Amino acid sequence: MRASDKTPVRQQQAPLRARATIKDEGPDISENGERARLALGGLDQADLSPDVRAAVLRLIGEVDRLNDQAGSLQTRITELESLADTDPLLPVYNRRAFKRELKRAMAMAKRHGLAGALVMIDLDDFKVINDTYGHPAGDAVLHAVAKSLNDHVRETDIVGRLGGDEFGVLLAAADENGAAAKA
């Protein structure tokens, strides 16, 4: 297997494993009394020394363990990438991720001659809410705004929190009339 090969190891091992009949009933004997075969090109276990057989079985176990760890690591990487892109308080992109997506959308629009729109939203006098009713009330307002924005944009549009009470909405492939209607 090459480092550039994207086929999962388990998938590559499937043909080998399909020929394996290693059982725990006893040394070198399968359930039906026939000699068991290792998952290495169908080699007969009788052709291998006990030390080689044990080493191969340990290696297969280690490969399985590493595959399991790789799956767990990939899941964790996906979770961390999501955390890195998501606002810590709201279910929208954070400023860094929003700016990255804005640059990407601008490059795509320029390359393909597409239109798009950026809507900037600032909640006037938001500080008054925090100062009068407390930060939990302010957080509730921010959540309501984020939910409303997410509920009213297309799946291809991007909502981000740019600052305390500032939001941006990137409307992909929207002309001036479409952007005005969304705003």
Answer with the one of 45, 61, 84 that is the final residue of a domain.
84
* pLDDT for residue 153: 93
* 143 and 103 inside one domain: yes
Residue 100 domain boundaries = 95-182
Domain assignment present for residue 148? The answer is yes
CB contact at 8 A, 68 and 79: no
- Alpha-carbon distance of 44 to 32, in angstroms, equals 16
* pLDDT for residue 41: 54
pLDDT tens for 78-112 read 899 888 999 999 999 999 999 999 999 999 889 98
pLDDT tens for 17-35 read 554 444 433 444 455 555 5
R_g of the chain, CA atoms, integer Å: 28
Q: Count the neighbouring beta carbons within 10 Å of the beta carbon of residue 142.
A: 23
Domain count, the chain: 2
pTM (two decimals): 0.60
* pLDDT for residue 139: 97
Main-chain phi, psi angles of 115, to 5 degrees: -95, 160
CB contact at 8 A, 45 and 35: yes
* 178 and 99 inside one domain: yes
* 103 and 150 inside one domain: yes
* pLDDT for residue 53: 79
